[in-house]
């Protein structure tokens, strides 16, 4: 089992913020937000705090033993990015947090926004974006689409302080998946071991997340999600997570100040939800969007596009009728999104006990030798992770070890000389 490491990371939220935080469980749109002066003010207050910006040092411990009167240093086995036992404990603490703060939508949005900056056209880590923990830095928190997510960090920071052997990248995705499951949604086939970026200079530029009301909603959704490597089915399935949460006009510019469904909370009252039971994960989002009968329920332009666009409509209609099909496709899409751009240590990732799909796909060369079958996404990710772990890239050859090559040539020549001599 892995030992503990502390991923290098700047702490945005000091441990002093463990006092009770009044947090809205508003999600607004998991991928659609405009800038907010309120959130910027919160960030300025955080920046001025004298207790901010401590460093978690990534220390590889070694043990010292005495032998024959001399000291020798023996390195312990290499640790993974996150400690498996601490991941399990952190998951239990997140469950308790959800019971008291009703912050399911907020935590899902945090995980989505950290992963949703991925660009499949950029090979290098961390320039490609994705699930790498960069959203903990002020440089990225200030992006308009991330308004209010500083509150999610305040909620999770005590858990991060308690379990320093869990990276921010893993914590964000663990929180989002746990929130879905605790709200009644499907079990997400997650894996962990994501490596954190180390500084704000590694944050992606603003503009990689989608807008709520673009001129051409369907085209905009495809432009953003295709850049991540996702398809139409996955776009629609992920949109179904709007069954949770609310939109607040003072933050996003969308929705009503309050409705009959949100005026009494739970959590901070107000906002406009997509569904009547906005803390229950089910397929009611698709049903309500299709019917459009309740004026107290929110329908964004990007929501309406799911039934207006012919390709999207096929899946939206299916999910409105079949919750089991929605749960299956959502779980797969959520897991795929949570892995985008991530660098895993170990390369194959860490699967917690009880998670589905714990056994990875076995590579059988004969299945792919005919040229008629392409590698699955899971196998592509596994190969990419293993190649990157030794410093390579799927698109670039590994650097040659010239010294080793020379030794091999000399050895071959020596063998040939010996044979010829005999």
The catalytic residues are 113
Residue with tokens 């991928």: 31
What lies within 8 Å, CB to CB, of 401 at 6+ separation is: none
Give phi and psi for 9, each to the nearest 5.
-160, 140
Tokens of 230: 């996702």
User: Is there a contact between 16 and 176 (Cβ–Cβ < 8 Å)?
Assistant: no
Residues 230/315, Cβ–Cβ less than 8 Å: no
Residue 262 and residue 245: Cα distance in Å, rounded? 10
Instruction: Check if the beta carbon of residue 120 is closer than 8 Å to that of residue 390.
Output: no
Q: Decide if 96 contacts 165 (C-beta within 8 A).
A: no
64 phi/psi in degrees, rounded to 5: -115, 130
For 72, phi then psi, to 5°, come to: -130, 140
Q: How far apart are CA 260 and CA 274, in angstroms?
A: 12
How long is the chain? 422
Cβ atoms of 94 and 173 within 8 Å: the answer is: no
C-alpha atoms less than 13 angstroms from C-alpha of 137 in its C-beta half-sphere: 20
Using the CB atoms, write b or e for 54-81: b if 16+ within 10 Å.
eebebeeeeeeeeeeeeeeeeeeeebbb
Q: Taking every pair of C-alpha atoms in the chain, what is the biggest distance, in angstroms? A: 96
Look at residues 107, 83, 60, 76 and name the one whose alpha carbon lies nearest to residue 164: 83
Start-end of H helices in 301-343? 301-308, 310-321, 323-339
- Rounded Cα gap, residues 131 and 111, in angstroms: 8
- β-strands 272-273, 246-247 pairing: antiparallel
- According to DSSP, residue 369 is labeled T
Q: How far is CA 390 from CA 22, 385, 397, 399, in A?
A: 45, 9, 11, 10
């Amino acid at each position: 089992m892995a030992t503990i490491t502390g991923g290098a990371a700047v702490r945005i939220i000091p441990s002093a913020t463990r006092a009770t935080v009044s947090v809205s469980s508003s999600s607004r749109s998991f991928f659609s937000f405009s800038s907010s002066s309120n959130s910027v003010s919160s960030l300025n207050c955080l920046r001025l705090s004298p207790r901010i910006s401590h460093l978690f040092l990534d220390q590889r411990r070694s043990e010292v033993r005495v032998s024959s009167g001399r000291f020798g240093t023996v390195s312990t086995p290499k640790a993974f990015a996150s400690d498996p036992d601490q991941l399990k404990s952190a998951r239990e603490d997140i469950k308790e947090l959800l019971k008291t703060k009703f912050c399911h939508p907020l935590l899902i949005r945090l995980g989505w926004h950290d992963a949703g900056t991925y660009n499949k056209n950029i090979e290098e880590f961390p320039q490609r974006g994705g699930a790498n923990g960069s959203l903990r830095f002020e440089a990225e928190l200030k992006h308009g689409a991330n308004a209010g997510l500083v509150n999610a960090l305040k909620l999770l920071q005590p858990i991060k302080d308690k379990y320093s052997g869990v990276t921010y990248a893993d914590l964000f995705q663990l929180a989002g998946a746990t929130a879905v499951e605790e709200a009644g949604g499907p079990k997400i086939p997650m894996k962990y071991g994501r490596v954190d970026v180390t500084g704000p200079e590694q944050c992606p530029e603003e503009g990689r997340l989608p807008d709520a009301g673009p001129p051409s909603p369907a085209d905009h959704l495809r432009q953003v999600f295709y850049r991540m490597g996702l398809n139409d089915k996955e776009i629609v399935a992920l949109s179904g997570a709007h069954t949770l949460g609310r939109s607040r006009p003072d933050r996003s510019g969308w929705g009503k100040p309050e409705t009959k469904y949100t005026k009494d909370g739970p959590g901070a009252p107000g906002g406009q939800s997509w569904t009547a039971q906005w803390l229950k994960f089910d397929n009611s989002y698709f049903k309500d969007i299709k019917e459009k009968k309740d004026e107290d329920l929110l329908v964004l332009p990007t929501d309406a596009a799911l039934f207006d666009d012919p390709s999207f409509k096929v899946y939206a209609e299916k999910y409105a009728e079949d919750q089991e099909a929605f749960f299956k496709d959502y779980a797969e899409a959520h897991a795929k999104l949570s892995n985008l751009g991530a660098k895993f240590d170990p390369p194959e990732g860490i699967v917690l006990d009880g998670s589905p799909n714990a056994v990875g796909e076995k590579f059988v060369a004969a299945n792919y030798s005919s040229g008629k079958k392409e590698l699955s996404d899971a196998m592509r990710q596994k190969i990419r992770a293993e190649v990157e772990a030794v410093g390579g890239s799927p698109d670039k050859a590994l650097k040659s070890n010239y010294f080793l090559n020379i030794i091999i040539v000399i050895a071959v020549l020596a063998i040939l000389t010996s044979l010829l001599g005999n």
